[in-house]
Amino acid sequence: MKEIVRIVIAMLVWLAVFSALYGLEGVGCAAGWHRIPVNGATLFQAAMTIAFFVALLILVAVLVALRAPRFRSASPFVAHISIVLAVAALIAGAWTLFPALALSHCA
């Protein structure tokens, strides 16, 4: 069972941060954050930018953890798949969440 967790965890975390940013966008737009100025930008832009980097940081942490001796699988097969998927999750995070930097408005 632990091996299955190692295999699915990275993509599961991607799904969680992806949903979280999508949810944050919904909440931010509903609460009118895009109308609150912060340092030349808006609160909404600030929140989405920070969230983007936090999300990537989490995905990097998962990758590092899966490579660390403490969490790494003893089976080379599972270790390989789990690390490939952690890299994939990181790339997926950067690619799918990139709009958080580029398009932070509520139209």
Partner 1 sequence: MNALARHRALSRIWSSEPGWRGVISTVNHSDIGRMFLLVATLFFLIGGVLAMLIRTQLATPHSAFVAPAIYDQIFTMHGTVMMFLFAIPLFEGAAVYLLPKLLGTRDLAYPRLSAYGFWCYVFGGLMLVFAMLAGLAPDSGWFMYPPLSSSAHSPGVNADFWLIGVTFVEVSAIAAAVEICVSILKFRAPGMSLDLMPIFAWYALVTALMILMGFPPLILGSILLELERAFGFPFFESALGGSPLLWQHLFWLFGHPEVYIIFLPAAGVISTVLPVMARTRLLGYRWIVAAAVALAFLSFGLWVHHMFATGIPHMGLAFFSAASTLVAVPTGIQIFAWLGTLWKGQPRLTLPMLYIIGFFFTFVIGGLTGVMVAIVPFDWQAHDTAFVTAHLHYVLFGGFVFPMLAGLYYWLPQFTGRKRFFRIGEMAFWLIFLGFNGAFLAMHWVGLLGQRRRIAWYPEDAGWTEINLMSSISAFIMAIGVAMVVFDIALHALLAIRGSRNPWGAGTLEWAMPTPPAAYNFASIPIVGDREPLAKDPALANKIARGEYFLGAPRGDLRETLTVDAASGRPEALVIFPGNSTLPIALAAATGAAFLGALIRVYWVIPLALLFVVGLSLRWGWSQRQATHSGLQNVGRATLLPQAIETDRSPGWWGSVFLLGADTVLYGSLFFGYAFLWTVGPNWPPPQWLSLSILELALGLIGAAAAAVGLQAAARAVSRGSPPSLGVLLALTGVAITIAALAMTLTRAGQLTDYAYGATIFVMIAYALIHAAIAAIMTSSLAYRTWRGGAARPRTSNVNIVRLWTDYAAFVAATSLIATQFSSYLT
Smallest distance, partner 1 to C-beta of residue 69, A: 18
d(CA 97, CA 25): 11
d(CA 96, CA 94): 6
Which residues here bind partner 1, judged by CB under 8 A?
A: 1-4, 7-8, 11-12, 14-15, 18-19, 21-23, 25-27, 29-31, 48, 75, 77-78, 80-81, 84-85, 88, 92, 95-100, 102-107
**Nearer residue to partner 1 within complex by CB, 64 or 105:** 105
Smallest distance, partner 1 to C-beta of residue 101, A: 10
**Nearer residue to partner 1 within complex by CB, 43 or 96:** 96
**Whose structure tokens read 């709009």?**
99
**Whose structure tokens read 């936090």?**
54
Mapping DSSP onto H, E and C, the string for 60-83 reads: HHHHHHHHCCCCCCCCHHHHHHHH
Smallest distance, partner 1 to C-beta of residue 52, A: 11
